[in-house]
């Protein structure tokens, strides 16, 4: 049971009513479940490319930056100022991915092609 009294992932409990609202809920939940499944493999691919699974990579993907910052903090006793570059680039990644997600969500929900 979810917090709203329905089953997690059940479109009938996400949106009350019928017709287009229920269809939209099914579409969003179906895509969320697909994204969840695919997301695991994407995260593993980023981890391999970024050096999280052994070795180091020269590419600056989020995993590499996070690992470098973590290394600096734990091994070198670095502070926030010392990992500022990594934090800044990770923040830019976050802004970019949130922007892309917002555009995809808007297109999915409204059917807009803008």
The string of pLDDT tens digits covering residues 35-90 is 778 778 888 887 777 666 766 555 667 878 888 898 899 999 999 999 999 999 99
pLDDT at 68: 85
If asked whether residues 66 and 99 sit together in one domain, one would say: yes
pLDDT at 2: 43
Structural domain including 11 reads 1-50
Q: What's the 3-state SS for 61-100?
A: CHHHHHHHHHHHHHCCCCCCHHHHHHHHHHHHHHHHHHHH
| Distance (Å) of CA 36 to CA 14, 24, 31, 33, 107 | 18, 18, 8, 5, 19
If asked whether residues 23 and 45 sit together in one domain, one would say: yes
Task: Write down the residue that tokens 């019928």 correspond to.
Answer: 18
If asked whether residues 45 and 83 sit together in one domain, one would say: no
If asked whether residues 44 and 86 sit together in one domain, one would say: no
If asked whether residues 106 and 81 sit together in one domain, one would say: yes
Q: Quote the pTM value.
A: 0.53
If asked whether residues 63 and 112 sit together in one domain, one would say: yes
């Amino acid at each position: 049971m979810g917090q709203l009294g329905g089953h997690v992932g059940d479109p009938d409990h996400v949106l009350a009513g019928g017709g287009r609202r229920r269809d939209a809920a099914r579409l969003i939940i179906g895509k969320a479940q697909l994204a969840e499944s695919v997301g695991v493999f994407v995260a593993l691919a980023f981890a391999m490319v970024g050096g999280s699974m052994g070795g180091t990579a020269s590419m600056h993907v989020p995993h590499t930056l996070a690992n470098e910052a973590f290394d600096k903090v734990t091994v070198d006793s670095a502070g926030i100022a010392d990992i500022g570059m990594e934090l800044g680039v990770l923040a830019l990644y976050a802004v970019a991915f949130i922007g892309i997600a917002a555009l995809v969500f808007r297109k999915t929900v409204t059917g807009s092609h803008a």
